[in-house]
Every structure is written in structure tokens, then in C-alpha cells.
Amino acid sequence: MSRLDDIQFPQSCQTLLDAHLGELQARYGMALWMITRVRDESLVVLRVHDNHYGLTQGHRLEWQSSYCVRMVEQGAPRIVSDVTGHPIYRDAPINQELGIGAYIGIPLVDRDNRLFGTLCALDPSPQPASLADALPGLQHDAVLISFLLQGALRDAREQRLNTFVEHPDRCDETGLPGREGWNDIFAQEVRHCRDLGADSTVLYLQGPADGDSVTIADSLAALLREQDSVAHLGDNRFGILLADTNEAKSRRVADRIRDALNAKQLLVSLQYESLLAGQSQAN
């Protein structure tokens, strides 16, 4: 039997992507390599291997100021060994934030072949012209990375559903996950937002002290999607996870929830919290 001690199965998609960025840097140079997701006119850094710029996971770059928007929307070159020779890059606003001498940018796509983000590399100094020869291999790398990310998103959807349905901590009255279950749902989604750029929102609903918690739970079940989760935190307080839903969309959901419960003579208050932005607001 052959020895497999030198082959280690990756513990997660993120572990594999981090290792791959390190390999790309060793192979092609460049001070920074990152995998980004386009979200609300921002490039959100999902994974990064940075020896110069100080960018970290979760950092947001303005999409319209970036090199990547010019690569994607204006057809600018995907590999530029010296940006001073390309006015479309040389004059980009991001140069006021980051000193860039060389650039690599390859689109990442989702299952419907729509833009997901980019595989991007930057260096403060111009690089040899031979860097352009890396394009075919890097485009292949981008396809593999796109596939890995879409698999990770699929796994995240399954994890949400499994945690909601199978968590052992259940409220005896409503059958929903209880406070411990909610803590696990919340922590899991924070990781999804961090690792995959998911833009999810939490609503905290407080019903009247004399309200029927079962009626509230049944109303929420009828209004929410399969990928959403709800937990009963006690005393007619409910936590609601709206997966992949930004604040604007969550406000529309909250309005529907409030109207449906008001029609049943249940006056409720709602508080918002964006897991990506880490901000909350009462309403």
C-alpha cells in the first residue's frame, strides 16, 4: 500500500483557498493575492494573502473605483505588468488609496455564469512583461475557485436548514429552536458572512407579554422562506435570520410580519441587525 502521509485532505473550502493563494504567490510573485465578492457596489475581501497592503478578510474596496470594474465592465486587460502604460488603470481612483504597479484580475462566476467576484493580485512595483503568459493558467484557476465557492455556498444553505430543523434545543411550546439553538444559528451565519460574503440580516421580534407565542410562531413560519430561520428566545421574543437578505429587503419582510401580526391584534416591535455590517437599529 502506498504512503499518503504527504497528502492532507483540506479541512474546509477556506483552508484550501488560503493554501491556493499562497501557491499562486509562490508561483507568480505579486505582493497581494485575494479572492473577492462583489456586494452592494463593493469588493468584499473573502480570502487574502498580503505581504504589503495590509488588507484583511472583510475589507471593502469601492467597486467603481477599482481596477476590477474596469477589467470586467470595460474589457481592460486581465494582466498588466506595468499599469503606467495603461491609462484606464493609471487613472483609476483606487490609486489614491493603494499604490499599484502591476495588476492581475480574473472574473469569478456563479452557477448561472453571472459575476460573483474576482481573483485579484496587486504589486506596488511593475513586474516582468512575461507575467502576461500566466493568463491561461490563472483563468483555469479562476474556474476551479468559482466551483469551490459555489459548492461552499450550497453547503452553507444545507447547514442553515439542518441546524434549524435538527438542533436539539427546542422550545416545548412552539417547537422552534430555543436560545441555545439561536446562539448556534447566529454564530454559524456570522461565519458564512465572513467566509462567503453573505449579506444576511437578523430581526429580533418582541411580542406583547400576553400574546400567544404559538400564533406568532405559526405566522412567522407562513411568512418566511425555507432558507430563513426563527427561534423562540422566551417571553414572546423571537430571533429571525433572513439569509442572504440585505437591510432594504429585510425592512420589507419586517413590514409584512408586522402587518400580519397586527391583523391578529398582536402589536410587535422589531430590531434589525446586519451581520455583514454589524449594525443594529430598532423600529
Instruction: Give phi and psi for 71, each to the nearest 5.
Output: -65, -45
- CB distance 25 to 5 below 8 Å: no
Calpha distance 230→12 (Å, rounded): 27
**Per-residue pLDDT, 283:** 41
Higher-confidence residue of 273 and 139: namely: 139
Q: Domain 171-282 is of which CATH architecture?
A: 2-Layer Sandwich (3.30)
Strands annotated E in the chain: 32-39, 42-50, 60-62, 79-80, 102-109, 115-123, 201-206, 229-234, 237-242, 269-274, 279-282
Where are the chain's structural domains? 13-155, 171-282
Dist CA 252 CA 192 (whole Å): 23
- Read off the DSSP letter of residue 170: B
Of 126, 109, 127, 129, nearest to 118 by C-alpha is: 109
Pick the CATH number of 13-155 from 3.30.450.40, 3.20.20.70, 3.40.190.10, 3.90.230.10: 3.30.450.40
Report, in angstroms and rounded to the nearest whole number, the Rg of the chain calculated over CA atoms. 23
Q: What is the pLDDT of residues 33-92, one digit of tens each?
A: 999 999 888 999 999 999 999 999 999 999 999 999 999 999 999 999 999 999 999 999
Query: 230-279: per-residue pLDDT in tens?
Result: 999 999 999 999 998 888 888 899 999 999 998 888 888 888 888 864 33
